[in-house]
A and B are shown apart, each in its own frame.
Chain A
Amino acid sequence: MKCKRCGAPAVIEIRRHRAAFCADCFTHHCQEQVRRTVDKHRMIAPGERVLVAISGGKDSLALWDLLLDLGYDADGVYLGLGIGDYSDTSRGFAERYADAKGAKLHVVDIPTEHGFGVPDAARATKRVPCSACGLSKRHLLNQAALDGGYDVLATGHNLDDEAAVLFGNVLQWNVDYLARQRPVLPATDGFARRVKPLIRMGERETAAYCVLHRIDYIVEECPMAAGNRHLRYKETLNALEERSAGAKATFYLQFLERMLPVLEGVAEHERAQVGTCTRCGAPSSAEVCAFCKLVERVAT
């Protein structure tokens, strides 16, 4: 198989693009995908400071690497979730990458700062661990961006992540969630702007990017996530993709083009409901925000 761009032997095939690339042209392709996404959705303006949410996995480390190589002023933040060896190992990957690149990595450790880990939160709430984990990440990463004076919080959500979330939201016709599934959530009072520059890259591509750039990342799946609904949706979509290359990209990217504008009224209504948490001051549609409620439940 030959590289579509230069004719050299290819190292990766991307079926939905009907293309294969050598290592150099694949890097160029990934950079173009991110540059195009950032420009199209006006994610990052020149001179803005970016905080990248780093998990130690392939997506976040690939995103940080791509943003740095594209010349953005990007620091990282790692959130310690208290998931035993898995957290220690993933933190190690994040720190080694930052050291090798001479990049700045902030560390926020939930057990140290709030007295609980994700497994404790799951037990206290009697809900799946991913629920408490996602809730904590949203709150604490936003807080880290605001505290550090960053203009933008960037996350490594890729095309597969977004397609799987969309699939789940459509299965339940969860209109509120559909309305807020945007590549950019604008800055508002108490919220840093949140952006997802990897929405045009599949997770096979972010993994390949890391392999080709010799970026070590945690390959093993989070033990808390095993068998969860989100992973089942991904498997379902990949079964479809294998038979119909490009199905995932069409599903998600056409949602952005055709459906999100229709849902703008719902998003507007949601934004109007947001007030302030009486305990921590974070934006919340209830008197006490979900994170403060979580902290309270784990403590009792």
Chain B
Amino acid sequence: MRVHLHNPKRDIDVEGPLRVKELVKRLGLNRESVLVIRGDNLVTGDAQLADNDEIEIRPVISGGARS
């Protein structure tokens, strides 16, 4: 599957099938810090991703210093 990543923007290929939480773990990401989007739709951690899926891993952390 083709996986789109941010910060910096890049694409990688990952062999499927595999579950969302496995993909996130394999990429060394914290599941609290990202959303996984297949096509235009959000998917939960237990969803099975197919080898021909197009996936975006979107970071959700934002913000500057605040006090």
Contacts and interface: CB of A to CB of B under 8 A. Distances in A.
Contacts, number: 104
A224 B64 CA distance: 8
**Interface size, B (range):** 20 to 34
Given A211-B58, A220-B9, 7 more contacts: A11-B42, A11-B44, A134-B65, A203-B60, A206-B60, A221-B7, A229-B65
Nearest to A207: B60
B37 to A, nearest CB: 6
B67 A221 contact: no
Interface of A: 1, 10-13, 15, 20, 57-59, 128-131, 133-134, 157, 160-161, 164-165, 168-169, 174, 177, 202-204, 206-208, 211-212, 214, 219-222, 224-225, 228-231, 234-235, 238-239, 241-242
A134 B66 contact: yes
A225 B63 contact: yes
Nearest to B37: A211
Nearest to A226: B7
Minimum-distance CB pairs A-B, first 8: A130-B64, A130-B65, A207-B60, A225-B64, A238-B32, A11-B42, A1-B44, A230-B65
Contacts of B40: 214
B66 A220 contact: no
